[in-house]
Amino acid sequence: MKIIKRSGQEVTFDSEKIFNAIAKANAATNGARELTPTQIRGISDRIEARATQIGRALSVEEIQELVETEIMKEGAYETAKRYIRYRYTRSLARAANTTDEQILTLIESNNEEVKQENANKDPKVNAVQRDYMAGEVSKDLTKRVLLPTDIVEAHEAGIIHFHDMDYYAQHMHNCDLVNLEDMLQNGTVISGTMIEKPHSFSTACNIATQIIAQVASNQYGGQSISLSHLAPFVNISRQKIRRDVIDECKILGQDVDEAQISQIVENRLREEIRRGVQTIQYQVVTLMTTNGQAPFITVFMYLGEARGEQEKKDLAVIIEETLLQRYKGVKNEAGVYITPAFPKLIYVLEEDNVREGSEYWYLTQLAAKCTAKRMVPDYISEKIMLRDKGDVYTCMGCRSFLTPDRFTEAGVGNIANAKNYVPGQKKYYGRFNQGVCTINLVDVALSSQKDMDEFWRIFDERLELCHKALLCRHERLKGTLSDAAPILWQYGALARLEKGEPIDKLLFNGYSTISLGYAGLYECVKFMTGVSHTDPEVGTPFGLQVMQHMNDACKKWKAESNIDFSLYGTPLESTTYRFAKCLQKRFGIVEGVTDKAYITNSYHIHVTEEIDAFSKLAFEAKFQQLSPGGAISYVEVPNMQQNLPAVLSLMQFIYDNIMYAELNTKSDYCQVCGFDGEIEIVEDDGKLVWECPHCHNRDQDKMNVARRTCGYIGTQFWNQGRTQEIKERVLHL
């Protein structure tokens, strides 16, 4: 069994240390000792049993609180006081500098908490360590100086989660929908160098990767681009290649007819498209941005964005090549093709591709094949998105969605000075999200002690705390000058403002959004009603009421401020574990509610609940519709590579029933024995570890594991809470 020290370092649990600490507190008196050695041994044994029962690595603070409780249960109140005073004295000494020990353990790569914080960051790498070190300093400054005390205390207690606190000291924001079209068609500037409109598809792809890297280094969330913005450059390359072919034929003195020329041109063009797409794929997975990871990039594939039939056909070729290359994968250091985490792909299901016999059905078949092997693309239903939002556009990163354009109709105009702005036309590219604060719904429920009136009172109180936290994020961005991130604010990714111009006008009128996140709807409903939110009589109505209440709060805040607050189904990568630990600390083990090392993401059905894939998607669609700021549903499936008709049936069901969904399969490889299958999760001394079922290799540096955990794929392993959640997932198909 392990414990987590204050520095984040993981060490083996040692009950003798507990025994010795109690014995010292017991002996530090001039009077009679309150505890006998037998009683002290009993206390240390009970604490060990309790720690084992909880089933995860406890922190030092949690162990010490158990010690205090057990000493008082024995009636040794003076000993408990001495123990508490000693803890308080030590905490004062540590408060003199709260970051040194954290940073030192980061450098030595033995901070387990940080090592498992981000499933796409390798904490052994210098760039990642540098980012984490800066983050520790920023968090310390934020907690001590920049944020109000009540928000910091609520965050520390797990009542809310103030996202990306390590970036709050800087004037940075969350997610972007990059206006790649404007930058490619009208030029941009990268690192002080003018980049003009490219004259070929391959050059456009190369410039796109540079833009992606620059954007990723100037914000802290996800970003998305559309392949439709690259499609016009296919015809530019086609015309250039045609001229070259005709010139070559003249030099060779050959008489070639038009059909032959066209065939040669299209063959060469396809090769250029292959190279261009390969540039994006390989550049994205090999680039390392200033935060020490590959850019968190989503690539949107929507035929409906094409302008004209030829451009649509060209876009289809780009989509086809993107899917083919992703299906193939990328080589790991052993030369074996594996599943990369990025770019995330989103494929839009539409009337032109969703049914057998439709013009682009072949693309949907290829998408199904790719999903079965590589877990992407994910799917957006054009039909449902048009119904729910009135427009079809991609999320920013994994799930954060902009609100439907309202500033165009309000007559606000081209406030970003985009060069591709069309008056009266809805605008999505170039917009962004300001930040996120998440409410812990489980804590609201437990704090109410099942008193429904108290539940709604506490709920409103916590929502207002989130509102205050989000306004802090908003105020931190106000006054930011465009010079802070020229690629974003001056050179087209988000806007083309003047140098020295504040970005303030982009924070209002719905141009950008700000997100109220939520977590643990299942556990909240379970505690308050005694049943899952899938229960149609009691659970579902209450769950929908909770969702509507949060939407009503966002609507009220928006009316008061002209800021687009929106409800967001939080991904909860590492926070699922942190929230679970905080709940256990505050309320103990409550069966079916706090007895896991994780809580459920957003509105999702609990991972252990038996339900078929179609029923799951149909049920969650009702809740996804009430999460307009972003959410994604998934179904857990086995290896589907030999059952593509089932994958296609699921995709068609998505088209008719839910806006945004994905299929989770497994894609692993053991570098020791060459096993190509599912790497398993096993328990060892109270800790969950990954193990090859063939050779029993447990060295994480010698295996490639890819799992979708939060709407995107992770490849660097996860904390114990998320690992338990992955282990306990049931199949839906």
- The predicted-structure confidence for 540-575, as pLDDT tens digits, reads as follows 999 999 999 999 999 999 999 999 999 999 988 888
Residue 715 lies in a domain: no
Q: What's the pLDDT score for residue 95?
A: 53
Residues 153, 703: Cα–Cα separation, whole Å: 39
Report d(CA 147, CA 619) in Å as an integer. 39
What local confidence, expressed as pLDDT, does residue 56 receive?
76
Whichever domain contains 257, its CATH number is 3.20.70.20
Last residue of a domain, one of 389, 423, 458: 389
Whether residue 638 is contained in a domain is answered as no
Q: How far apart (Å, rounded) are the C-alpha atoms in residues 394 and 377?
A: 13
Looking at residue 293, what is its pLDDT?
66
Q: Which tokens is 438 given?
A: 């998440």
The token pair at 135 is 């983050």
Q: Which residues contact 578 (CB under 8 A, 6 or more apart)?
A: 158, 161, 721
Q: Are 295 and 216 in contact (CB under 8 A)?
A: yes
CB count within 10 Å of CB 65 equals 14
Residue 312 structure tokens: 């649509």
Same-domain status, 373 and 476: no
Residue 128 lies in a domain: no
Clarify whether residues 325 and 286 are in a common domain.
yes
Residues 435 and 510 occupy one common structural domain: yes
Instruction: Provide the β-strand partners of residue 298.
Output: 224, 344
**For residue 93, what pLDDT band results from cuts at 50, 70 and 90?**
low
Which residue in the block uniquely carries the two structure tokens 């403002």?
497
Q: Answer yes or no: is pLDDT of 642 > 80.
A: yes
Tell whether the model's pLDDT for residue 714 goes beyond 90: no
Q: Do 224 and 364 reside in the same domain of the chain?
A: yes
pLDDT at 94 over 70: no
pLDDT at 241 (0 to 100): 97
Q: Quickly list DSSP for 445-478.
A: HHHHTT-HHHHHHHHHHHHHHHHHHHHHHHHHHT
Q: What is the mean pLDDT of residues 293-319?
A: 94
Q: Hey, is 363 helix, strand or coil?
A: helix
Q: Do 202 and 349 reside in the same domain of the chain?
A: yes
The CA distance from 85 to 81, in Å, is 6
Q: What is the pLDDT of residue 59?
A: 80
pTM, entire model: 0.87
Instruction: Tell me how far apart the alpha carbons of residues 248 and 254 are, in angstroms, rounded to a whole number.
Output: 9
The total number of structural domains that make up the chain: 2
Alpha-carbon distance of 704 to 336, in angstroms, equals 10
pLDDT classification of 292: cutoffs 50, 70, 90: low
pLDDT digits (tens, 9 = 90+) for 116-140: 555 555 666 666 666 767 777 788 8
Predicted confidence (pLDDT) per residue in 454-513, tens digit = 999 999 999 999 999 999 999 999 999 999 999 999 999 999 999 999 999 999 999 999
Q: What is the pLDDT of residue 64?
A: 84
Q: Is residue 102 part of a domain?
A: no
Angle between helices 452-477 and 441-448 (to 10 degrees): 140
Grade residue 2 by pLDDT with cuts at 50, 70 and 90.
confident
Backbone angles phi, psi at 709, to 5 degrees: -115, -30
Q: Do residues 500 and 590 both lie within one domain? A: yes
Phi/psi of residue 378, nearest 5 degrees? -95, 170
Q: Are residues 374 and 494 in the same domain?
A: no
Is position 631 within any domain? no
Domain endpoint, select from 323, 354, 389? 389
Give the span between the Cα atoms of 620 and 617, in whole angstroms: 5
Q: Decide if 369 is inside a domain.
A: yes
Those residues with Cβ within 8 angstroms of residue 358's Cβ, 6 or more apart along the chain or in another chain = 351, 352
**Which residues pair with residue 432 across a beta bridge?**
176, 512
241: containing domain:
179-389
Instruction: Answer yes or no: is 623 within a domain.
Output: no
State whether 423 and 362 are in the same domain: no
- Can you give the pLDDT at residue 310? 97
Cα separation, 265 vs 261, whole angstroms: 6
- Amino acid type, 335: G
Same domain, 256 and 328: yes
Task: Point out the domain boundary residue: 584, 600, 616.
Answer: 600
Q: Encode pLDDT of 214-243 as tens digits.
A: 999 999 999 999 999 999 999 999 999 999
**pLDDT at residue 243, as a whole number:** 95
CB 733 within 8 A of CB 635: yes
pLDDT at 645: 96
Asked if residue 203 belongs to a domain, the reply is yes
Catalytic annotation, residues = 174-175, 396, 398, 400, 433, 568, 573, 711
Taking only Cα atoms into account, the Rg of the chain, rounded to an integer number of angstroms, comes to: 27
Phi-psi category of 296—alpha, beta or left, where left has phi over 0 and alpha has psi -120 to 50?
Answer: beta
Q: Are residues 329 and 412 in the same domain?
A: no
Burial of residue 598, with CB atoms counted within 10 A of its CB: 0-12 exposed, 13-18 middle, 19 or more buried: buried
d(CA 490, CA 499): 7
Q: Tokens at residue 71, please?
A: 């000493």
User: Looking at the structure, do residues 462 and 385 belong to the same domain, yes or no?
Assistant: no
Whether 438 and 567 share a structural domain = yes
Gap between the terminal Cα atoms of the chain: 35
Residue 89: which pLDDT band, with cuts at 50, 70 and 90?
A: low
Q: E strands of 571-691, at which residues?
A: 633-636, 660-664, 667-670, 680-684, 687-691
Strand partners, 339: none
